[in-house]
Amino acid sequence: MVNASLADVLTEFEGIPDSEIVAALPKEATELLGAISLPAVLKVIETYGGRRVRLPRKGLRRHPLAKVLGHETLERLAVHVGSGCINVPKGAALMRMRRDHAIEELRRAGTTIGELASRYRLTEREIYNILARYGKRGLTTSVRA
């Protein structure tokens, strides 16, 4: 189960080079890379982003984070940061990167600008701007194709 959820996180960032993902990580998250893998860091941000997570000195196996990361990974993290609190950043830039990449992929697969705007609750202009940043320009401004 743990491996599947970490694999799911990787799938969401598929096609984005690791170097770009790491560059978009907040400083607090890059510090975690010394102890745990990039997929594990992404899963921590996805699950606890914007919150403080307390790591106890004892009882790590019962900690909710153990279900997210697995016991071994959580133990490595605890050794790296010690007991106390971890401030998990929201990773807003990272989440925008994931969204923008998904928009670009869906557009390439034929999803209309209007459908993308509806799905992501953005304006069509915002969708065009995202696609322009990816070097892609939408082929239709039609709300429905």
Only one residue has tokens 């670009």, namely: 104
pLDDT of 141 over the 70 cut: no
pLDDT of 120 over the 90 cut: yes
pLDDT of 5 over the 80 cut: no
**pTM score above 0.75:** no
**pLDDT confidence tier of residue 7, bands split at 50, 70 and 90:** low
Alpha helices, DSSP H only, in 49-91? 64-69, 71-81
CA atoms of 108 and 112, how far apart (whole Å): 10
* Residue 116: partners with Cβ closer than 8 Å, 6 or more residues away: 103, 106, 107, 122, 127
